[in-house]
Amino acid sequence: MGAHEHMSRYGRYAGGPDPLAPPVDLAEALDAVAEDVMAGYSPRRALREYLRRGGPRRPGLDELAGRVQQRRHDLLNRHRLDGTLEEVRKLLEDAVLAERKQLARDAAMDDTDRAFRELQLENLPQSTAAAVNELDSYDWQSGDAREAYERIKDLLGRELLDQRFAGMKQALEGATAEDREAVEAMLRDLNELLDKHRRGEDTEEDFRGFMARHGGFFPENPQSVDELVDALARRAAAAQRLMQSMSPEQREELMRLSAQAFGSPGLMSQLDALDSNLQALRPGEDWSGSERFQGREGLGLGDGTGVLQDLAELDGLAEQLSQSYAGSSLDDLDLDALARQLGADAAVSARTLAEIERAMQDSGYLRRGADGDLRLSPQAMRRLGKSLLRDAARQLSGRTGFRDTRSSGAAGEPAGSSREWQFGDAEPWDVTRTITNAITRTAADGGNPASGLRLEVGDIEVAETEARTRAAVVLLADISFSMAAEGRWVPMKRTALALHHLVSTRFRGDRLELVTFGLRAQSMDIEGLTALPADREQGTNLHHGLLLAGRFFRQHRALQPVLLVVTDGEPTAHLLPDGEPWFSWPPDTETVAATVAELDRLGRAGTQVTFFRLGDDPGLERFVAAMARRTGGRVVAPDAGELGAAVVGEYLRAHFHGPADDAGWVP
């Protein structure tokens, strides 16, 4: 292998993403998306909402869109479009004043001639354009006056060219006759090329020849005739919108003045032909729109056209940021345009949002279901459950009598299984599995295990233990409409997800059933419960939920039955013998009797029952207190934000304390 194959090439950083920036952190995005999913949004809509809102340190699409609209507002309210007319008017005044001074001090001039000239200057039309045209044949006596008048023609020519070719006003300042001839030659050749392109008769050689002769007029360096047409058409359409945005009087003045551009009527003929060619080639551009300018800073034709282009670019960015069209994606964002209009920081923010959108799908947190829509993946559910359980543990650590979930399962009999060590684990090492992992890794790395082993953190496995009391746990979750209306819908789902993660990762010997009850009850998996929308369903059919809980307990007779009931209302529905629900408000005595009877059956079977009462409804307060007394259970009345910690705490209490001796009210 040659030495040159090892060489690297380096260069100065030239913009773009920060090369030292850390990878995009999806934790914040996933938490926000999951929160909206649990509130009833689809994952796709939830992701869109997060991208719109952004994060605490990152502007979202809505903020960027607001800045786009503010920039648009500022442009319209800062400028007015009569800058060229004002400049021409000032040059005309300078020319007339200089001429009058010359006439006054020219003693050799014939008095009749002087009087005639003064009368002619005195009676110039009020219209600037008419006055300029009338003075076209005037024999100026003052050199300064003649120079000022010629500057009007020069200005008009440069402004008209600047409308179509950005930067031409500055480039042609002080231009010679040869420079102007070069411009006219470029326009003739350009119109010839575009005319052939319209007819489909142009060739690649035609374009290359044109650029070889006139490429200096096009700093954009187009690589094809279509790129050339695109750039020219956008500018020409903005020039047309500029004229449409003027008052009729301003438009008429400029049209009449245009005949004086460079003192060459042929220039306007070439520009008109150019506009005609471009409009025919790009009819989809906005050639007839207008804007309302209300500012004080006068704009010339070229600068005004640039502002109209900015406004069009801002409108395009607003549409891209809205993401409201079919098939929209943040990859559609024109980051270069965003940087031009709002600065580099805005482009970096938009790029980060686009990376988050891609990474949320590429990372596996979102997956497409059979219906083609996005869903939270099991990987996302595990990560969320872990986060929510950590939050619950943090709340529990501040409560007397509750244990940190990291120690849960540490005491008890070995379960016969092991798992990878995690920070905070207090379980004993599984020495056999740990040594086996070290041997396997050493051999895979090309080492010789017989020569000695070096343990790494990833080798360590701990022996799982299970609490002496294995449990069959049913979480009964109220999904009546009041839960959503009172802001308890998301806390209920967060609670279910935290409990599910705790059982599935730390108490694998337990069995957990999630049962929802509204007008009816049904068993649900965690994915279904997390995505469950908030329906406007009346009914709190606790009776049906208890029936499903009893069936689950009978399927797991060897386990300690634990029932956790989350509700914010009295029972208002029960299941009839034919399987249909019966709803009544106020609660019917038959509904209450059926519910109590099912609770009594569960109590006689040794079920540990805990009610989590949400809200301050007096009827619910009386009902759950009475039920706790009948079943030897407990009542916990947490705030909605503390529901997860309360449920996890009661689950752990059932494991480590067995049936509660202090049954009754827990404030």
pLDDT digits (tens, 9 = 90+) for 138-172: 999 999 999 999 999 889 888 988 988 988 888 88
Q: Is the pLDDT of residue 517 over 50?
A: yes
Top-ranked range on mean pLDDT: pick from 426-435, 436-445, 466-475, 600-609: 600-609
Average pLDDT on 71-88 reads 93
Of the listed ranges 85-89, 180-184, 496-500, 648-652, the least confidently predicted one is 648-652
pLDDT of residue 660: 40
Q: Is the pLDDT of residue 401 over 60?
A: no
Top-ranked range on mean pLDDT: pick from 6-10, 85-89, 179-183, 609-613: 85-89
Q: Is the pLDDT of residue 1 over 50?
A: no
Say if residues 388 and 402 touch (Cβ distance below 8 Å). Answer: no
pLDDT (tens digit per residue) in 462-478: 776 654 568 888 989 88
How far apart, in whole angstroms, are the C-alpha atoms of residue 333 and residue 336? 9
pLDDT of residue 466: 54
Of the listed ranges 15-29, 293-307, 313-327, the least confidently predicted one is 15-29
pLDDT (tens digit per residue) in 186-238: 999 999 999 999 999 999 999 999 999 999 899 889 999 999 999 999 999 99
Q: Is the pLDDT of residue 57 over 50?
A: yes
Tell me what percent of the residues of the chain surpass a pLDDT of 70: 85
Contacts of 77 (CB under 8 A, 6+ apart): 294, 295
pLDDT confidence tier of residue 338, bands split at 50, 70 and 90: very high
Average pLDDT in the chain: 82
pLDDT of residue 661: 40
Of the listed ranges 189-198, 290-299, 390-399, 625-634, the least confidently predicted one is 390-399
Q: What one-letter code names the amino acid at 296?
A: R
pLDDT confidence tier of residue 422, bands split at 50, 70 and 90: low
pLDDT confidence tier of residue 612, bands split at 50, 70 and 90: confident
Say if residues 284 and 201 touch (Cβ distance below 8 Å). Answer: no
| Geometric angle at alpha carbon 287, from 283 and 289, rounded to 5° | 140
Q: Is the pLDDT of residue 507 over 90?
A: no
Q: Which two tokens stand for residue 503?
A: 């059982």
Of residues 14 and 323, which shows the higher confidence score?
323
pLDDT confidence tier of residue 76, bands split at 50, 70 and 90: very high
Of residues 202 and 616, which shows the higher confidence score?
202
Which H or E element spans position 571? none
pLDDT (tens digit per residue) in 570-597: 898 898 888 888 888 888 889 899 999 9
How far apart, in whole angstroms, are the C-alpha atoms of residue 209 and residue 225? 11
pLDDT (tens digit per residue) in 317-334: 999 998 888 778 888 899
pLDDT of residue 425: 57
How far apart, in whole angstroms, are the C-alpha atoms of residue 624 and residue 619? 9
pLDDT of residue 35: 72
Say if residues 359 and 28 touch (Cβ distance below 8 Å). Answer: no
pLDDT of residue 447: 83
Which domains are assigned to the chain?
Answer: 23-79+314-376 (no CATH), 82-292 (no CATH), 413-466 (no CATH), 471-666 (3.40.50.410)
SS (H, E, C) 597-651: HHHHHHHHCCCEEEEEECCCCHHHHHHHHHHHHHHCCEEECCCHHHHHHHHHHHH
Of residues 638 and 200, which shows the higher confidence score?
200
pLDDT of residue 491: 82
CA distances to 91, 120, 249 from 131, rounded to whole Å, are 12, 10, 15
Q: Which two tokens stand for residue 544?
A: 């049906």
Q: What is the DSSP letter of 591?
A: H
Average pLDDT on 375-393 reads 71
Q: Which two tokens stand for residue 98?
A: 């200089």
pLDDT of residue 29: 76
How far apart, in whole angstroms, are the C-alpha atoms of residue 159 and residue 254? 11
| CA nearest neighbour of 412 among 509, 543, 484 | 509
Of the listed ranges 47-51, 409-413, 542-546, the least confidently predicted one is 409-413
| CA nearest neighbour of 609 among 409, 474, 493, 487 | 474
pLDDT of residue 4: 45
